[in-house]
Amino acid sequence: KQEVTQIPAALSVPEGENLVLNCSFTDSAIYNLQWFRQDPGKGLTSLLLIQSSQREQTSGRLNASLDKSSGRSTLYIAASQPGDSATYLCAGGGFQKLVFGTGTRLLVSP
């Protein structure tokens, strides 16, 4: 059974810092790995989707990597801003069995 773990559970950084969020999964046979952002009281917004044949995806200040052999994905946020404060969740996908981590709660202070 796929298990997805995110460490740390919470992270606080000053504005402008580059940071890395970690996601690990137990079953390397995944179709894709997705990163989401969730603001308090809101739904999830997809940030990046990495298919199993890919190693990374980039969108603006965000870069996500996927290493299936080690069971790890990282989300890199460059030059963090207070508006980046949110909970970030990763999810590893199998056949109609997307398994979510519990998220990293990020606070970026001005």
Write out the residues near other proteins by the rule CB under 8 A.
4, 31-32, 34, 36, 41-46, 49, 51, 89, 91, 93-103
Residue ranges of E strands in 1-110:
4-7, 10-14, 19-25, 32-38, 44-51, 56-59, 62-67, 72-77, 86-93, 99-100, 104-109
Q: CB of residue 79 vs other proteins: minimum separation in angstroms?
A: 25
Question: Which residue, 52 or 63, is less far from other proteins as judged by CB?
Answer: 52
Question: Which residue, 81 or 97, is less far from other proteins as judged by CB?
Answer: 97
Buried b (16+ CB within 10 A) or exposed e, 53-69: eeeebeeeebbbbbebe
Q: CB of residue 94 vs other proteins: minimum separation in angstroms?
A: 7
Question: Which residue, 40 or 110, is less far from other proteins as judged by CB?
Answer: 40
